Structure 1
């Protein structure tokens, strides 16, 4: 058996890919949290759209934070790229899976993801290691 120090670690070098991976992990957590709230509380499905937009912004913020921290410079540009790619992926999945049309709410969610990613990237660059 090898010691912990000798086991190779998987590290994604690209700030964009690592940010997207963390955003997807946060999305999984937010989805499970909202499913639990729907099942165990009195929350109705009609209340979900507002929470979903907030969850997407939170996920983009987390992805932008990781991206900015990995890049160590130009956090806003790395963060906004994570937010835009994340937002476009969410819009594409919604269009292909549920035949969702492009509405004003979709564009607001995309803009919120981009701005939250940029904010996360700026915070990530300035975070101490």
Structure 2
């Protein structure tokens, strides 16, 4: 179970990172070639981030086959650690209160994604 949980969480994180990179490319292209300002895009990108974490939890839960809440939660915690280490080691800044709230929301979204992922899969082996 431990090995399956970790590998499913890695698939979830990989899915999240791919979706976030694609969203970043699309949004930067839109910001570059239109007159839309970055302030107008903040809520859209935040919503897409929650969707990406939900999908990552969904993939993780589906791949684990059981305990989707744990697979999704593990995915969210590992994703938060990756973001924290990049921000802390790369920019020498810790999380502020707003970021802790956002990442707590990511945890909830990924847990629900993991639960739905296990239930959509429908079988455990």
Q: TM-score, normalised by structure 1?
A: 0.77
CA contact (8 A) 2:84 2:94 kept: no
Runs of 4+ in 1 over 6 A off after TM superposition: none
CA contact (8 A) 2:68 2:114 kept: yes
Residue in structure 2 matching 1:45, options 24, 27, 38:
38
Residue in structure 2 matching 1:123, options 116, 119, 123:
116
Match of 2:16, SS state, is helix
Residue in structure 2 matching 1:64, options 37, 48, 57:
57
* Partner residue in 2 for 1:97: 90
User: What's the CA shift for 1:18?
Assistant: 1.1
Q: Which moved more, 1:69-78 or 1:51-60?
A: 51-60
Name which one, 1 or 2, has greater alpha-carbon Rg.
1
User: What's the CA shift for 1:109?
Assistant: 1.8
Higher helix residue share: 2
Structure 1 alignment gaps of length 5 or more: 1-12
Residue in structure 1 matching 2:80, options 67, 72, 87:
87
**RMSD in angstroms over aligned alpha carbons?**
2.1
Kindly tell me the number of residue pairs found equivalent between the two proteins: 117
Q: TM-score, normalised by structure 2?
A: 0.79
* Partner residue in 2 for 1:9: none
CA contact (8 A) 1:91 1:106 kept: no
